[in-house]
Amino acid sequence: MTTAEAFARTRAWERQDRQAISERALVIIGALAYIAGLHILYVAVVVPDWGTAYLPYRPPGAHWVVAAWILVLCPVLFMPVRLTRPSMYIYWALYLTVHVPGALMPLYTEALPPEQAILVPIGMIPLMALMRLCYSVKPVRIPRLAVPMWAMIASLALLALVATAMNLRSVSLSTFALNLVYETRDEWKGNISGAARYFYIWQANVMGPFLLVIGLAKRNPWLIALALLNNLALFASSGLKSILFAPVGAAGAWAVVRWNSSGAMKRYLALLAVALLAITAVDGLYLERTMGRGLISSYTVRRMVYVPGLLTGLYVDYYSTHPKTYFTEGRVLSWTGEYPYELGIPNMIGYQYFNNPEMNANANIWAMGYADMGWPGMLLITLMLMPILWTIDSLARGHPRAGVVGVLVMPMFTLSNTSLFVALLTWGLGLTMLLLYLAPLGLFRRS
């Protein structure tokens, strides 16, 4: 190698380093904008609507808030700045919907004393760093069953037709009155059997979005219409709001990932920050005045971000002074010991803090891990999640990233609202992985 070639190579490396530093800095700024957007929306809209109920704003002092914000930003220093693998979207979703609110909400709401609340982000930072190791191992190509594409699409379409035919009679104008869904949901829960409940949830959160993303990718209006009708009919008879929003999430994720084909996280964070400011403006300046409450924030960010963050603090508060459950609550590991409470974990929190034993105060995978074994339980859940993330990436090889993220989006967000076992078995993450294994490589492509 000549001196000129060595000099040129060195300059190229320096230019790459500057670009990497610049992109990392922009991602940090984007994360800070997202945190600021959450803060502004919470103080301006959510607290006036829900402050007297369970979401107040009583920070212990500026120094505690500043410390929490700094700790919240720490994982951004090592998280990937370009999302090149589908599981990276799950990784970042956990940061945005679990780590950030779990660090801030216990402080904002006094769910924990500040000395204990600050330990929550300190404890989660090593877990985020541990998950980063997933991306030091390359995914492998897993041998697939030779399922014909027509058979896959026909099976999904047939299931959607059956679900629609069974529930279409429930669709009416009152279906869209979200304030009436609780009556419908209570009636549905009282009449539905265990197996039928699984069918509803899997069909709405997995099969329907799968069919929708295929229809979008292949530009087939019949598949799109059938997928939308499938979820509308299921929502009308069950009242589960997640069923209504599943097609929006799947289609939105598919479109956004296609729009940001490079996977640059700075663009996603900028989009999220703008969305939060838009919700603040629409809810605060219009909907609160005309309808008495900020509906957009209530049905989206409040339930997906603020409430799980609050519940993270309540789980740590309660199970730091009461017996841990050691994974004996559910059916998977109930044989390992005797469950120490009369109520399930979410219902116990609902009873202790909201005086409602029927309230399912579901939190995220790490809060549930803390209820099971404390901080070691959170570590164990992380170690269980890591091979799942790697398997998803291996199953996704050969598929367009937008298609995989589109079908993963609903099971992905359940990780911020339930335990890992429930997300895998009940809410369809495991079923989604099975369908990705069966899916022919051209399923999410137009031709």
Q: Where in the chain are the domains?
A: 3-142+258-438
Return mean pLDDT, the chain. Answer: 88
Q: Please state, in angstroms and as integers, the Cα–Cα distance from residue 208 to each residue in 88, 232, 299, 423, following that order.
A: 23, 10, 21, 17
Tell me the pLDDT band of 9, cut-offs 50, 70 and 90: low
Quick one: pLDDT at residue 333?
A: 63
Listing DSSP states for 46-87 in one string gives IHHHHTTTT-----S-HHHHHHHHHHHHGGGGTS-SB--SHH
Are 354 and 54 in contact by the 8 Å Cβ rule? The answer is yes
Quick one: pLDDT at residue 179?
A: 59
Mean pLDDT, range 183-195, rounded to an integer: 71
Report the predicted TM-score, pTM, of the whole model to 2 decimal places. Answer: 0.92
Query: Distance between CA atoms of 205 and 410, rounded to whole angstroms?
Result: 6
Are 265 and 28 in contact by the 8 Å Cβ rule? The answer is no
Other C-beta atoms closer than 10 Å to the C-beta of 137 total 12
Quick one: pLDDT at residue 293?
A: 74
Question: Is pLDDT of 6 > 70?
Answer: no
Other C-beta atoms closer than 10 Å to the C-beta of 270 total 16
Mean pLDDT, range 298-326, rounded to an integer: 93
Query: Distance between CA atoms of 224 and 146, rounded to whole angstroms?
Result: 25
Tell me the pLDDT band of 143, cut-offs 50, 70 and 90: confident
Quick one: pLDDT at residue 199?
A: 85
What are the tens digits of pLDDT across the range 255-311? 999 999 999 999 999 999 999 999 999 988 776 666 767 788 888 899 899 999 999
Other C-beta atoms closer than 10 Å to the C-beta of 208 total 31
What are the tens digits of pLDDT across the range 52-103? 888 999 988 899 999 999 999 999 999 999 999 999 999 999 999 999 999 9
- Which amino acid, residue 304? M
Lowest mean pLDDT, pick from 368-372, 374-378, 425-429: 425-429
Tell me the pLDDT band of 162, cut-offs 50, 70 and 90: confident
Question: For 355, phi and psi rounded to 5 degrees?
Answer: 55, 35
Tell me the pLDDT band of 11, cut-offs 50, 70 and 90: low
Query: Distance between CA atoms of 317 and 3, rounded to whole angstroms?
Result: 64
Query: Distance between CA atoms of 387 and 139, rounded to whole angstroms?
Result: 10
Quick one: pLDDT at residue 174?
A: 56
Question: Is pLDDT of 238 > 90?
Answer: no
Question: Is pLDDT of 372 > 70?
Answer: yes
